[in-house]
C-alpha cells in the first residue's frame, strides 16, 4: 500500500498528538515561564482589565496580551480552571500540524505523499516536540508564520488579495502574540522572493508595494491594541511596549546574550532524529531538489531564520521553533521521493541512537557534570529501560518490514518524550511544582500573617495560590527594617544553597525557595 492511500498517514498523527498532549496531566505549570504567564492572565482576570497586562501589581510589558486573552476566553466560557490553560499550547500545536499539511499541499499539489508526511515529521522533531504542550508563545507564533507563508504562496500564484490579506493578518496577530519578532520570521522570505519564485515572472514593484501595505495593515492591527494600552498603562508602560521591547531588546539587550555561533552546536539536537537518518541524506544526494521551487522556498525560509536569529544578541532555544515547519517540509519532500536502495544497517542507525540514549539515561546519575544536579541523583533505571524498550521495538519493526517507516520513527520519538515527561517530573518532585509553596502563601493571606519576598520576584506563586493581592516584595537592604516592624512575619527568598534552618523549605529548579520567620532572619547574617 502506498503512503498516499494509507489511512495511518492520513489520520494517525492525531492520536500521536493526543499522546503528546496527555503529558500536561503529568506536570504542573513549570517555573519560571509558565507560572509567570499564568499569573499575568490571572491578574488581568481579577482586575477585569483585558487591555493592559499586569504582574504582581505592576504593568507587564515583556509580552503582548494574545496568549493571556486566549486563557481568559476559556475561563470566560468554562470558569477559572487549571485544565484550560494547559490545553492552549496543545491546541496551537494541532493547528501547527494542520497548517503544515496545508502548506505542503500548496507547495507540491501533485505530491500528496509530502503533505501526508510533513505533520509526522514535525510532531517528532525534538525541539518542536519538547515545547508543543508548553503554555508559552512560540507554538502560537508558529501558527502565524505558517499563515503568513501560505499568504505569500497565494499572492504569487494569482490570489493576490487573499494572499496579502493572510500575510497582513499573520503579521498583526504575530505582533499581538510575541511582538515585532514576527517580521523576522516572515519578511526575509518575502523579500527574497527572487530566490524561490514559482517559475513565473514577478512584477517586483507591485510585489513589494503589496508587502509594504501588508506590513502597514498588520501594524495597524497591533496598534489597535497598543495605542489604547499605552494610554491606559502610563508613560513607562507606553515607552516599553512601543520602543524598549522592540528596538532596544533587538539591538542592545543584555537579556540572554550569546555568541553568534551559539545555535550551531544545538542544531543537530534540535532537528533529531531526521538529520541522523541515512535515508534522508541518500535521497537528498540522488535527486535534484534544488530545482524544486517548493524546496527552495522552504530552504530560504529555514536558512534566513537561522542566520538572522544567530546575528541577534538575545538567543534562546525556543526562538527557533517557528522555523521547524520549514525543516519538516524539506524532509517530507525528500522522503517522499522514490526510495533509493537502502541497507538494513543504515535503517538501524536511528534506532541504535535511541538505544544509546536509553543507555545514557541508565548511567545518568554517574555522568560527570550532570551528577551534581539534585534531581539526577533520584533517577532510577526505569526511565532508561523504557527508552531502550522503545528503541528495541523500533529496531524490531525495521527487521520485520525491512525498512524504517516515518510513522514508526515518529511514534517512537513521541512515545519517548511522553515517558520522558513522566519520569522527569517524577524525579524532580517539588522542584518544578510550586503548588505547596503557593498554598503556604495563600494560608498567610487567610490568617493575616505578614510576609514579603526578598529579591527579584517573577510571579511564580500568584496563580498557583490564587492570590488576590500582589505579593509584597523587598530589596535586600529593606529586610532589617521590615523584620523590626513585623516580628510575627515571614520572609521568602530564593537561595542557591540549602539552608540549615527554615520555617518552610522547597526546591525551586536548582535553587531553594526558603520561608523564614522574622526571628530566624534576625538571627542570621543578611540574606
**HEC string of 154-170?**
HHHCCCHHHHHHHHHHH
Q: Which residue has the cell 538572522?
A: 308
Grid coordinates standing for 113? 505523499
Identify the pLDDT of residue 293. Answer: 87
Residues near 272 by Cβ (< 8 Å), separated by ≥ 6? Answer: 125, 126
| Rounded Cα–Cα distance for residues 349 and 500 (Å) | 50
Q: Please state the domain extents for the chain.
A: 61-335, 344-431, 434-523
Instruction: Indicate the DSSP class of residue 337.
Output: S
| Rounded Cα–Cα distance for residues 505 and 519 (Å) | 16
Three-class HEC string of 112-135: HHHHHHHHHHHHCCHHHHHHCCCC
199: left (phi over 0), alpha (psi -120 to 50) or beta: left
- Nearest of 505, 503, 486 to residue 494 by alpha carbon: 505
| Rounded Cα–Cα distance for residues 507 and 378 (Å) | 14
Identify the pLDDT of residue 7. Answer: 82
Identify the pLDDT of residue 341. Answer: 56
Instruction: Indicate the DSSP class of residue 470.
Output: P
- Nearest of 95, 196, 202, 208 to residue 142 by alpha carbon: 95
| Rounded Cα–Cα distance for residues 337 and 348 (Å) | 20
- Nearest of 33, 37, 22 to residue 133 by alpha carbon: 22
SS3 14: helix
Identify the pLDDT of residue 246. Answer: 58
Residues near 42 by Cβ (< 8 Å), separated by ≥ 6? Answer: 462, 463, 466
Please report which helix (H) or strand (E) contains residue 473, including its range: strand 473-474
Identify the pLDDT of residue 339. Answer: 64
CB 74 within 8 A of CB 264: no
On the question of a cis peptide bond just before residue 273, with omega within 30 degrees of 0, the verdict is yes
CB 153 within 8 A of CB 443: no
| Rounded Cα–Cα distance for residues 287 and 272 (Å) | 22
CA 514 to chain centre: 29
β pairing state of 54-55 and 58-59: antiparallel
CB 464 within 8 A of CB 30: no
Identify the pLDDT of residue 501. Answer: 86
Alpha helices, DSSP H only, in 240-322? 249-251, 267-270, 278-286, 293-311
Could you read off the pLDDT tens digit of each residue along the chain, which spans 527 residues? 456 557 888 899 999 999 999 999 999 999 999 999 999 999 999 999 999 999 999 999 999 999 999 999 999 999 999 999 999 999 999 999 999 999 999 999 988 999 999 999 999 999 999 999 999 999 999 999 999 999 999 999 878 899 999 999 999 999 999 999 999 999 999 999 999 886 667 889 999 999 999 999 999 999 999 999 999 999 999 998 887 665 555 555 667 788 999 999 999 999 999 999 999 998 888 777 777 889 999 999 999 999 999 999 989 999 999 999 999 999 999 999 866 556 788 899 999 999 999 999 999 999 988 888 888 988 999 999 999 999 999 999 999 998 999 999 999 999 999 999 999 999 998 899 999 999 999 999 999 999 999 999 999 999 999 999 999 999 999 999 999 999 999 999 999 999 988 999 999 998 999 999 998 988 775 54
| Rounded Cα–Cα distance for residues 406 and 454 (Å) | 51
Grid coordinates standing for 371? 551528577
Stated pTM of the model: 0.94
* Residues counted in the chain: 527
Residue 195: phi, psi to the nearest 5?
Answer: -85, -15
Identify the pLDDT of residue 289. Answer: 78
Q: Across the strands, what pairs with 95?
A: none
| Rounded Cα–Cα distance for residues 132 and 136 (Å) | 9
CB 437 within 8 A of CB 513: yes
Identify the pLDDT of residue 474. Answer: 95
| Rounded Cα–Cα distance for residues 506 and 440 (Å) | 11
Amino acid at each position: 500500500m502506498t503512503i498516499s492511500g494509507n489511512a495511518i498517514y492520513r489520520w494517525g498523527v492525531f492520536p500521536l498528538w493526543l499522546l503528546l498532549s496527555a503529558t500536561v496531566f503529568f506536570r504542573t505549570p513549570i517555573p519560571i515561564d509558565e507560572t509567570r504567564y499564568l499569573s499575568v492572565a490571572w491578574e488581568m482576570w481579577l482586575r477585569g482589565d483585558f487591555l493592559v497586562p499586569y504582574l504582581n501589581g505592576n504593568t507587564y510589558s515583556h509580552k503582548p496580551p494574545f496568549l493571556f486573552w486566549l486563557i481568559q476566553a476559556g475561563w470566560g466560557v468554562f470558569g477559572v480552571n487549571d485544565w484550560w490553560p494547559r490545553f492552549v499550547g496543545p491546541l496551537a500545536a494541532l493547528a501547527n500540524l494542520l497548517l503544515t499539511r496545508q502548506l505542503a499541499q500548496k507547495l507540491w499539489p501533485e505530491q500528496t505523499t509530502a503533505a501526508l508526511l510533513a505533520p509526522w515529521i514535525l510532531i517528532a522533531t525534538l525541539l518542536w516536540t519538547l515545547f508543543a504542550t508548553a503554555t508559552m508563545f512560540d507554538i502560537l507564533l508558529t501558527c502565524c508564520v505558517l499563515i503568513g507563508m501560505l499568504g505569500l504562496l497565494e499572492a504569487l500564484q494569482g490570489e493576490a488579495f487573499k494572499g496579502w490579506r493572510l500575510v497582513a493578518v499573520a503579521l498583526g496577530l504575530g505582533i499581538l502574540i510575541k511582538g515585532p519578532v514576527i517580521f523576522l520570521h516572515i519578511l526575509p522570505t518575502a523579500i527574497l522572493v527572487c530566490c524561490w519564485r514559482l517559475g513565473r515572472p514577478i512584477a517586483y514593484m507591485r510585489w513589494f508595494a503589496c508587502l509594504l501595505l501588508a506590513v502597514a495593515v498588520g501594524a495597524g492591527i497591533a496598534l489597535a491594541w497598543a495605542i489604547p494600552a499605552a494610554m491606559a498603562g502610563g508613560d513607562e508602560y507606553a515607552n516599553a511596549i512601543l520602543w524598549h521591547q522592540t528596538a532596544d531588546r533587538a539591538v542592545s539587550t543584555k537579556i540572554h546574550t550569546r555568541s553568534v555561533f551559539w545555535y550551531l552546536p544545538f542544531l543537530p539536537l534540535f532537528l533529531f532524529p531526521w538529520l541522523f537518518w541515512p535515508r534522508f541524506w541518500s535521497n537528498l544526494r540522488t535527486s535534484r531538489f534544488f530545482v524544486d521551487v517548493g524546496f527552495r522556498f522552504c530552504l530560504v525560509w529555514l536558512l534566513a531564520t537561522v542566520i538572522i536569529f544567530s546575528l541577534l544578541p538575545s538567543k534562546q532555544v525556543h526562538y527557533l521553533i517557528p522555523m521547524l515547519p520549514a525543516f519538516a517540509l524539506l524532509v517530507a519532500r525528500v522522503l517522499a521521493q522514490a526510495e533509493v536502495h537502502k541497507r538494513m544497517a543504515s535503517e538501524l542507525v536511528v534506532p541504535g541512537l535511541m538505544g544509546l540514549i536509553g543507555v545514557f539515561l541508565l548511567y545518568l546519575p554517574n555522568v560527570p557534570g550532570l551528577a551534581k544536579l539534585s534531581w539526577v541523583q533520584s533517577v532510577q533505571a526505569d526511565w532508561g529501560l523504557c527508552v531502550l524498550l522503545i528503541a528495541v521495538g523500533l529496531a524490531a519493526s525495521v527487521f520485520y518490514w525491512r525498512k524504517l517507516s516515518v510513522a514508526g520513527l515518529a511514534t517512537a520519538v513521541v512515545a519517548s518524550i511522553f515517558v520522558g515527561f513522566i519520569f522527569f517530573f517524577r524525579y524532580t518532585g517539588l522542584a518544578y511544582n510550586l503548588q505547596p509553596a503557593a498554598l503556604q502563601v495563600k494560608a498567610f493571606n487567610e490568617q493575616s500573617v505578614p510576609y514579603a519576598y526578598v529579591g527579584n520576584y517573577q510571579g511564580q506563586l500568584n496563580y498557583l495560590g490564587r492570590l488576590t493581592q500582589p505579593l509584597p516584595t523587598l530589596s535586600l537592604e529593606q529586610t532589617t527594617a521590615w523584620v523590626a516592624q513585623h516580628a510575627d512575619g515571614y520572609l521568602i527568598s530564593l537561595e542557591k544553597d540549602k539552608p540549615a534552618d527554615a520555617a518552610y523549605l522547597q526546591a525551586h529548579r536548582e535553587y531553594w525557595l526558603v520561608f523564614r520567620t522574622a526571628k530566624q532572619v534576625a538571627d542570621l547574617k543578611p540574606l
